[in-house]
């Protein structure tokens, strides 16, 4: 596996990122990795390394590239530190749906143009806010996303939210896998049912379930990380991508 720093030309400038490529002879299917609200950092680079070891070319972009050289967050304390929480939420809210969709087009173009990548569609996976993004991208670029996963994602089927990903279900062609966290107000049973109905009505092949773990379960540097749930999430990604992505 090799990890390379890359620069992705975007409509609004350029985004740094890392490209994670399997060992051996390619090409391989591509996967676009969306981090949680804390953004791209070593934990997610290691997760992208693991995707490469599984046989996928993984792209991890700096979703907050418009912030310049921003200071990384300490996920163990960010939500208990008022100033850091405010800084984090300001960056999250500044990355609007419009910007997310625009950036995604550039990320997808970059990834699919790589010689190491095969096929004309990729997989996406996202965590926390990145889960919202993963489904949003699947609904916005249906011809270029063949598999979309969300782990402890929030706001996936929020009522009265015009940016809620469930509203994009009629456009989705991807196979969708959503694993929510138990007792998570950001994605509760009401949202689960609403998303289930939207995906079913749209004829989207999907799996929806709750893992018996807290929000943040899949990300090792989160204080709520759950090793069993993380392992289960890797198994789910292997099955999803192994079925839905071109070899």
Tell me the pLDDT tens digit for each residue of 165-201: 999 999 999 999 999 999 999 999 999 999 999 999 9
- Give the per-residue pLDDT at 142: 98
Residues 6 or more apart whose Cβ sits within 8 Å of residue 157: 164, 165, 166, 187, 191, 192, 194, 195, 198
- Residue 54: which CATH number? 3.40.50.1820
Residues 6+ apart with CB under 8 A from 26: 57, 115, 116, 117, 118
pLDDT at 51 over 90: yes
If one counts the domains in the chain, the total is: 1
Q: What is the pLDDT of residues 96-147, one digit of tens each?
A: 999 999 999 999 999 999 999 999 999 999 999 999 999 999 999 999 999 9
Burial code (b: 16+ CB inside 10 Å, e: under 16) for 165-195 equals bbebbeebbbbbbbbbbeebebbbeebbebb
When computed from its CA atoms, the radius of gyration of the chain, rounded to whole angstroms, is: 17
Which helix or strand (DSSP H or E) is residue 232 part of? helix 227-244
Calculate the average pLDDT of the chain: 97
Q: What is the pTM for the complete model shown? A: 0.97
Concatenate the DSSP letters of all residues of 38-54 into one string: T-S-HHHHHHHHHHHHT
Of 98, 238, 115, 31, nearest to 17 by C-alpha is: 31
Torsion sign (Cα): 31, 32, 34, 40: positive
Residue 231: CB partners within 8 Å, gap ≥ 6? none
Cβ-based neighbours of 232, under 8 Å, separated by 6 or more: 179, 211
Contact 187/39 with Cβ under 8 angstroms? no
- Do 111 and 32 contact (CB within 8 A), yes or no? yes
- For residue 147 the two structure tokens come to 């598999």
Q: Which domain holds residue 109?
A: 2-244
| Residue 84: burial class (beta carbons within 10 Å; 0-12, 13-18, 19+) | middle
Confidence of residue 247 (pLDDT cuts 50, 70, 90): low
Residue with tokens 């070319």: 57
Phi, psi at 83, each rounded to 5°: -70, -45
Condensed to tens digits (0 to 9), the pLDDT of residues 200-209 reads 999 999 999 9
Residue 240: what pLDDT?
98
């Amino acid at each position: 596996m090799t990890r390379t720093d890359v620069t992705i030309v975007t409509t609004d400038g350029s985004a740094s990122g890392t490209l994670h490529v399997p060992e051996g002879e390619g090409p391989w299917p591509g996967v676009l990795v969306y981090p949680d609200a804390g953004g791209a950092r070593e934990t997610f680079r290691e997760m992208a390394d693991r995707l490469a070891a599984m046989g996928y070319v993984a792209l991890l972009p700096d979703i907050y590239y418009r912030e310049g050289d921003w200071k990384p967050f300490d996920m163990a304390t960010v939500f208990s530190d008022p100033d850091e929480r405010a800084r984090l939420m300001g960056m999250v809210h500044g990355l609007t749906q419009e910007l997310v969709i625009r950036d995604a087009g550039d990320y997808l173009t970059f990834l699919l143009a790589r010689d190491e990548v095969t096929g004309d569609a990729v997989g996406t996976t996202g965590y926390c806010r990145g889960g919202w993004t993963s489904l949003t991208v699947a609904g916005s670029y249906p011809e270029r996303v063949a598999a979309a996963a969300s782990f402890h994602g929030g706001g996936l089927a929020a009522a009265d939210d015009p940016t809620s990903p469930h509203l994009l279900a009629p456009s989705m062609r991807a196979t969708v896998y959503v694993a929510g966290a138990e007792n998570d107000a950001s994605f509760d049973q009401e949202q689960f049912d609403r998303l289930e109905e939207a995906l079913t009505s749209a004829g989207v092949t999907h799996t929806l379930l709750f893992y018996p773990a807290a929000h943040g379960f899949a990300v090792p540097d989160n204080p709520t990380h759950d090793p069993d749930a993380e392992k289960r999430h890797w198994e789910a990604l292997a099955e999803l991508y192994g079925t839905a992505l071109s070899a």
